Amino acid sequence: MSFIGVNYGQVADNLPPPSRTATLLKSTTIAKVRLYGADPAILRALSGTGIGVVIGASNGEIPSLAANPAAASQWIASNVLPFYPSTQIILISVGNEVFSSGDPNLPSQLLPAMQNLHSALQSASIADKIKISTVHSMAVLGQSDPPSSGAFQASLTDTMKPLLGFLQSTGSPFTINPYPYFAYRSDTRPETLAFCLFQPNQGRFDAGSRITYMNMFDAQVDAIRSALNGAGSKDTEIVIAETGWPYNGDAGEVGATVENAKAYNGGLISHLRSMVGTPLMPGKSVDTYIFALYDEDLKPGPTSERSFGLFRPDGTVTYDVGLAKSGQTAVGPPSSPSATKGPAGYCVPRPGVSDAQLQANLDYACGQGIDCTPIQPGGACYLPNTVASHAAYAMNLFYQKSEKKPLDCDFSKTAALIPGNPSKEVWTVF
């Protein structure tokens, strides 16, 4: 799926050579990679792979890029032209979370740096192929809950307005880093965890839009959409530059577990593959770069900072979220054999359950490692293409692959066990 990407950081001393990483990526459905710089060895290794690549200019490079068009031209000449188009560079990210950097001078220098790089791309006749943007943290929003109230911080108005104008005029995306993990850390109720992890939950009602949100990712993305719409940028595309969940943490880092990381990233990937979109942007999936490809063992800070990797340096999976290409088996920790105890029968959705709730159940079930390829486009059970049909398939398969306890067919009381094969006139279960 072309909208699933991954962040490839290098603050580590144990990473495999770029050529091995390129081979690993080609064995997965990851279609895009975000780099924090423009490492020539990595760019060469990704040549000819067809993988879209985001490269980055660091915060420290912004002042010279802003002050001197020749510096921007040299940056493009060094970091883009030797590799493009055999390496499919699609975006240059200028700086990372500049407005949260603590450097009071950078925000005013950001747009001139972006403009100079864009001019250099124009001179090379590739400005229509490679876009220029900058990555923001969620802190640029002054209001985000409920999603319909999403708005940028008032203090950023003078800087943000021309920046958004540049993105709109060049057809470039607004790139941002939403992390439901941090939202959960500030509200550790069980229902909040379920909402963050794409697990069955009661949802959260947005009185402004009359929409019930079933997961935190959609809520955060739609808050960004509301903020952009309110700022007059209704046509600006959103790209998720980073999102993820740590699988390990220090004693005080609540929620940083393998189970939660697998639930979040697995649920996210399933949600993106469903193409259901968000309530404010239905029917399509935003480009999303999961953090991260590998752990970065030299990163400072708490243990969680070094515990986001989907893959180990030897190429095996830290935990399986279904990224291996069809026919290839991901290698990871051994899973316990499925028990066959518990009541037989079929797990089906209860009548009257909303599509939003069924979609949440679908995302959860498919995020737990079951094979949902038959209900993806082109799959044997894709038709009828309805949320109810796809959810019935996924919920029943999840139950059949589990220990078959009644709780495995609960889905927040939206599912029930029936003794015989359900009528295909009412349910579509395969």
Active site residues: 97, 242
CB atoms within 10 A of CB 193: 20
Look up tokens 């279960």; give the residue.
429
Question: For 59-70, b where at least 16 C-beta lie within 10 A, e where not — what string?
Answer: bebbbbbbeebe
- Nearest Cα residue to 292 out of 12, 34, 29: 34
Token duo for residue 184: 């959960």
SS3 sequence of the chain = CCCEEEEECCCCCCCCCHHHHHHHHHCECCCEEEECCCCHHHHHHCCCCCCEEEEEECHHHHHHHHHCHHHHHHHHHHHCCCCCCCCCEEEEEEEECHHHCCCCCHHHHHHHHHHHHHHHHHHCCCCCCCEEEEEEEHHHEEECCCHHHCEECHHHHHHHHHHHHHHHHHCCCEEEECCHHHHHHCCCCHHHHHHHCCCCCCCEEECCCCEEECCHHHHHHHHHHHHHHHCCCCCCCEEEEEECCCCCCCCCCCCCCHHHHHHHHHHHHHHHHHCCEECCEECCCCCEEECCCECCCCCCCCHHHHCCCCECCCCCECCCCCCECCCCCCCCCCCCCCCCCCCCCEEEECCCCCHHHHHHHHHHHHCCCCCCHHHCCCCCCCCCCCHHHHHHHHHHHHHHHCCCCHHHHCCCCCEEEECCCCCCCCCCCC
Q: What are the two backbone dihedrals, phi and then psi, of residue 63, each rounded to the nearest 5 degrees?
A: -55, -45
